Amino acid sequence: MIIRLCLSFAAGIIIGFERASRHQVAGLRTHVLICLGATLLMLLSIWLPQEYNYLKNGDPGRIAAQVVSGIGFLGAGAMIRLGNNIKGLTTAASLWLIAAVGMTIGAGMFLAAALVEVLTLIALLGLGAIETKVFPSERNKILELHFKNMVPDTKELLNTVKSFGVRVQSMDVDQAFDKKGTKLRLLVGFPSTIDITKLIQELKNIKGLENVDLKEKY
């Protein structure tokens, strides 16, 4: 039991250190405590049926099963809503995973726990950079374009927007805008790497475009 608890402590430190280095709300101490707690509960689940043999209905997985559902409350606390975006999903997942690692260590499956620790570090450290480069994060915004005295060339507009890597999710056209022109309202996904100033300057080169408004979507 002592060996398993010490290994659990080390496993929590490894993942918790990575999360703390990124200044996440659940860092080193949180991961260590969750891993230790999960290991202790797993040990208790194994010990109780062995100690009380007269309990014919004893289930060694009953206590451990509650860890899986109970850890969801801590995971929810690690998530933060910023506008229409959710931050902290990776940390919430790491809390759930470190609880599973703690239970695995408590059950004596050391090789499986070590392999998951290595794979988790690869996912958090290595895949993060690849994900950011290949799939840059984006924020949903409302792009309003006001055209004066004409029906705009939407094909040119869409080609300009998409050339900057902006994903157009929907587009509404209001030709009764100010009884003189047309207003296009686009719901778009802006990559975090985009130069918004340059995009707006490029849009203003479109014939007939009078004004460009960029708003957050909540």
Q: What is the tens place of the pLDDT at every residue in 194-216?
A: 778 888 888 888 877 888 887 77
**Side by side, which strands form the sheet with 181-191?**
167-174, 181-191, 138-148, 209-216
Domain stops at, among 86, 112, 134: 134
Same domain, residue pair 78 and 14: yes
Q: For the chain, give the mean pLDDT.
A: 81
Q: Flag whether pLDDT at 84 surpasses 70.
A: no
Same domain, residue pair 78 and 118: yes
pLDDT given for residue 102 in this prediction = 93
Q: How many structural domains are present in the chain? A: 2
pLDDT given for residue 10 in this prediction = 94
What tokens does 60 get? 């060694």
Same domain, residue pair 83 and 64: yes
Q: Flag whether pLDDT at 55 surpasses 70.
A: no
- The model's pLDDT over 91-128, given as tens digits with 9 standing for 90+, comes to 888 989 999 999 999 999 999 999 999 999 998 888 87
pLDDT given for residue 161 in this prediction = 84
Q: What is the CATH number of the domain that holds 144?
A: 3.30.70.60
Q: Flag whether pLDDT at 54 surpasses 70.
A: no
Q: What span, in angstroms and rounded, lies between the C-alpha atoms of 83 and 75?
A: 20
Tell me if the pTM is above 0.85: no
pLDDT given for residue 151 in this prediction = 67
Report how far apart, in Å, the C-alpha atoms of 204 and of each of 23, 73, 207, 208 are.
Answer: 40, 48, 8, 9
For strands 209-216 and 138-148, give the pairing: antiparallel
Question: 94 with 19: CB under 8 angstroms?
Answer: yes
Share of the chain above pLDDT 90, in %: 23
Same domain, residue pair 53 and 38: yes
- The model's pLDDT over 142-152, given as tens digits with 9 standing for 90+, comes to 888 888 766 67
Same domain, residue pair 177 and 209: yes
Q: What span, in angstroms and rounded, lies between the C-alpha atoms of 27 and 186?
A: 39
Same domain, residue pair 121 and 199: no
CA nearest to 71, candidates 34, 36, 45, 126: 34
Q: Which residues contact 31 (CB under 8 A, 6 or more apart)?
A: 12, 13, 15, 16, 19, 94, 95, 98
DSSP string, 181-207: EEEEEEEEEEETT--HHHHHHHHTTST
- The model's pLDDT over 28-52, given as tens digits with 9 standing for 90+, comes to 998 999 999 999 999 988 887 777 7
Stretch 159-164: mean pLDDT: 84
Stretch 174-183: mean pLDDT: 66
Q: Flag whether pLDDT at 61 surpasses 80.
A: no
Neighbours of 176 (CB within 10 A): 9
Answer left, alpha or beta for residue 108, where phi above 0 means left and psi between -120 and 50 means alpha: left
Domain stops at, among 134, 150, 177: 134
Q: Flag whether pLDDT at 1 surpasses 80.
A: yes
List 96's β-bridge partners, or say none.
none
The boundaries of the domain holding residue 157 are 138-216
- 56 pLDDT band, cuts 50/70/90, is low
Same domain, residue pair 69 and 107: yes
Exposure letters 18-35 (e unless 16+ CB within 10 A, then b): bbbeeebebbbebbbbbb
Task: Name the range with the highest mean pLDDT among 1-5, 157-161, 182-186.
Answer: 1-5
Domain stops at, among 102, 134, 166: 134
